[in-house]
Amino acid sequence: EDQVTQSPEALRLQEGESSSLNCSYTVSGLRGLFWYRQDPGKGPEFLFTLYSAGEEKEKERLKATLTKKESFLHITAPKPEDSATYLCAVQASGNTGKLIFGQGTTLQVKP
């Protein structure tokens, strides 16, 4: 069964303290791995798509990497405005766009 597990569930950082969020997945043929940011009560906001092991993408203080079994979202020198829930999702091979989401990591960055 296709599955996505994110860790940790919650992470508290001081402003400027870099860290990484983990997304482990098991899927029958990976078509894509997606990272989203979600603020409370709002819709997920698309961040990155990764398609193959070794691929990396960057956006401001965020960098996403992908291996054959997991993805990491690295946050460098975070600011309070980076506080949010970060969701990882996978799309399995096939002709559908169905995304399977992990439970998310809730990040709090304190000033």
Partner 1 sequence: DSGVTQTPKHLITATGQRVTLRCSPRSGDLSVYWYQQSLDQGLQFLIQYYNGEERAKGNILERFSAQQFPDLHSELNLSSLELGDSALYFCASSVGRKNEQYFGPGTRLTVT
How far is it, in rounded angstroms, from Cα 53 to Cα 10?
A: 26
Q: How far is CA 72 from the centre of its chain?
A: 7
Among residues 65 and 105, whose Cβ is nearest to partner 1?
105
Q: 30 forms bridges with which residues in the sheet?
A: 92
Among residues 29 and 41, whose Cβ is nearest to partner 1?
41
Q: How far is the CB of 10 from partner 1 (least distance, A)?
A: 14
How far is it, in rounded angstroms, from Cα 66 to Cα 25?
A: 11
How far is it, in rounded angstroms, from Cα 47 to Cα 32?
A: 13
Among residues 15 and 39, whose Cβ is nearest to partner 1?
39
Among residues 2 and 72, whose Cβ is nearest to partner 1?
2
Token pair belonging to 74: 């690295």
Q: Measure CA of the first residue to CA of the last residue in the chain; give whole Å.
A: 41
Q: How far is the CB of 100 from partner 1 (least distance, A)?
A: 7
Q: How far is the CB of 46 from partner 1 (least distance, A)?
A: 6
**Site residues (CB under 8 A) for partner 1?**
31-32, 34, 36, 41-46, 49, 87, 89, 91, 95-104
